[in-house]
Structure 1
């Protein structure tokens, strides 16, 4: 898998590829106020981690989640749920006086969702603060890929965000490739300029960008996809997959520009995690040697299935057949 920035010759390996996803898992609740509430767990990078783990043979790709939690019953249960999905938690920091964040999903008749958040004092906000975070930050250089999102950046304290960027610089010099999903949430940032600067800092390290068009248009004011692709090329991002909801995905990469149609869904139930699942499937296909066009088709296929279920994570039995038999049997580093 060549994501433009060449860290050396491409070689096949027999050990699993190691992928670290950095972010926040929250308590997810959905239903109607005053009625029965269903409680699960979710969060953009956690959703991606789950789908990535499901789509890759466990002997080929090792998926770890990097975050901070409390020592309460919800934190214990969420970590158990990750392990059940085959996600490692060796680099999860426990902050004893903190709790996980929480969000409530409300959906309209068309499946569009609205979130209510309680996350200001969440443990994940402090994950990279203090000397206790040193080992987590240095561990990033041990991974083949590090994945994070705009939300991963937004939830951190300014000091923690700076430490993460510095650690990603070190990791990338050591050969780690960086994957970034832009997920821009204005209410998580003190102002838009702070967000823009953080994104610019990270984009100069990014090998693969998984971009939601509406989010980048809102943050940077791009008039059209061409302006976005031009800006990402100037930042030397080698591969960009531009997600446009129910419209086609546009890809810019060293082999050209591609337009990959989305799959039609007759009845959308809940769009929660549509972008997260697309990103997971895209990356899973690329890790297994698929090309960008194949990866976008995987992304559309999984996202189309996810939006037909309530909540971020669909049942394991509902996972679609991705047609992996046509891909190389060994992932590439």
Structure 2
């Protein structure tokens, strides 16, 4: 395959309807539509930073599927490996508007087209054309087929000498119980190079408290770099020969926290692919995470390279 991708990812992109007014979702009358999904957020962020990104999924032959393809293409994301099915619909969600903090989100994704993504859909030539694979724990949560796809993709990329990043993106409501969730994510972690959990996620997954302990736990599993998100405080990172805390950026007002972790992953992954020092990679993650929480939509705060550099220098875009 002649095409070369910097990064490939897969998962479930969804059509999102977000409220235009505050209040309970059942009382809201006006919504706007946008693309949502952790993996599509990461793909968008990396593409805006001028990395060549490919996205793999299954969509329904419906208006939501059509909308998602157009939205991904608009961001310059390669969609040539996305397939369509008439049997299952494209997933969607609705999200409330809040003055600050965490909005309420309701998902409509059960038996979605993306949850049918399985081993038969894996194209080795497409994945081999990419230098890096990004995975989230959500894919393993939505179906057995998607979990098998995740494991196969990660093992394929590792065998091919490529790097793999994993963001646990814990969604307890999608799992039968906490133990199954933790066991599955920790098993996936043994197949990744870069692991980027939040502190709360790390505590759930390991039963440990301190960032240093959590990081060591995953290094012992064979992960080469662990970066732990600490919210406003920034992040902690640890590899076999380096560790440290990196301070977060000042945020004037938290508008919407959804997508902040994805933005953080964009910063870390992009910087590591550009071979920047670890501390600078984590600082970039902090910067994009800060931009994300100051923006209303999941992807609104994901910056271009020029906007990112301006924010890191001056604290504003």
Considering the TM-score relative to the shorter chain, is it more than 0.5? yes
RMSD over aligned CA atoms reads: 2.2
Change (3 A) 1:275 1:286: same
Give the one of 42, 45, 54 matched to 1:64. 54
Give the one of 184, 191, 194 matched to 1:208. 194
Q: What CA distance in whole angstroms lies between the structure 2 residues aligned with 1:205 and 1:141?
A: 17
Residue 39 of structure 1 deviates from its aligned partner by 1.0
Give the one of 85, 92, 100 matched to 1:95. 85
Q: So what's the TM-score if we normalise by structure 1?
A: 0.84
Q: What CA distance in whole angstroms lies between the structure 2 residues aligned with 1:235 and 1:229?
A: 10
Matches for 1:186-201 after TM superposition, within 5 Å:
186-201=172-187
SS in 1 for 2:86: coil
Give the one of 253, 256, 271 matched to 1:285. 271
Give the one of 225, 229, 237 matched to 1:243. 229
Contact 1:138 1:167 in 2 (8 A): no
Matches for 1:307-322 after TM superposition, within 5 Å:
307-314=293-300, 321-322=307-308
- Name the structure 1 match of 2:95: 105
SS in 2 for 1:79: helix
Contact 1:93 1:127 in 2 (8 A): no
Q: What CA distance in whole angstroms lies between the structure 2 residues aligned with 1:159 and 1:116?
A: 23
Q: What CA distance in whole angstroms lies between the structure 1 residues aligned with 2:114 and 2:229?
A: 27
Residue 209 of structure 1 deviates from its aligned partner by 0.9
- Name the structure 2 match of 1:7: none
- Name the structure 1 match of 2:8: 20
Q: So what's the TM-score if we normalise by structure 2?
A: 0.88
Q: What CA distance in whole angstroms lies between the structure 1 residues aligned with 2:162 and 2:301?
A: 32
> 1:219-244: CA deviations, max 9, x gaps?
33222212211211111111111111
- The answer to whether the aligner puts 1:30 opposite 2:18 as a matched pair is yes
Q: What CA distance in whole angstroms lies between the structure 1 residues aligned with 2:218 and 2:238?
A: 9
> 1:124-164: CA deviations, max 9, x gaps?
110116x3x143x6643332111011112211x22441243
- Name the structure 2 match of 1:10: none
Give the one of 258, 280, 288 matched to 2:244. 258
SS in 2 for 1:113: coil
- Name the structure 1 match of 2:167: 181
- Name the structure 1 match of 2:206: 220
Residue 310 of structure 1 deviates from its aligned partner by 0.9
Q: What CA distance in whole angstroms lies between the structure 2 residues aligned with 1:317 and 1:323?
A: 9
- Name the structure 1 match of 2:139: 152
Count the aligned residue pairs. Answer: 303
Contact 1:70 1:97 in 2 (8 A): yes
Structure 1, gaps ≥5 residues long: 1-14, 325-333
